[in-house]
Amino acid sequence: SVIPSVAVALHATARGDRNGPTGTYSVAAEMSRDVANHLSANDVDVAVAYNVALDHGFGHSARDLLGGIDRYPLVPIFLNSASPPAPSFRRAATIGDVVGSFFDDRAERVLFVGTGGLTHHLPGFVPP
C-alpha cells in the first residue's frame, strides 16, 4: 500500500480504531479539491484521497472538539507522521502556511485543528 506524505481527502469514513467514532465525515469535497490544487500550485506535492478511512487522530478530534464527525464540513489534510520518511517540521510548517493562505480571503469562519502521531508508532504503518 501507499502512504503519501501529504494528502487531502475528498470523501472519508472513520475507522473506529482506538475507541474512535465510526461513520462518514462531512467532507467539503469541492473545497478539499480547491485546497489540494492550491497546495500543488504553491509547490507542495500532495495526493488526493478519493475515499479514505481516517484513524483515531481525526475521529477523536472531530468527536471531542466539534461534537461529531459529521456535524460540520471538514477539509481533512493528512501529513504522514507514522511511517518514514515523515515530513520535517519545516516542511510541515510550510504546508500549514500554504493551507492558511488558501483561507486568508475567505468569508467562512475556519477552525484549524492539528493532531498527530509524533509520540507513538502504530503497528502496521512502519515498513518491515
Q: Which residues are catalytic?
A: 56, 120
Distances (CA, A) of 4 to 55, 56, 85, 127: 15, 18, 10, 13
Nearest to 111 by CA among 99, 122, 93: 99
Residue indicated by cell numbers 518514514: 84
Instruction: Say how far apart CA 110 and CA 107 lie, in whole Å.
Output: 9
Rg (CA), the chain: 14
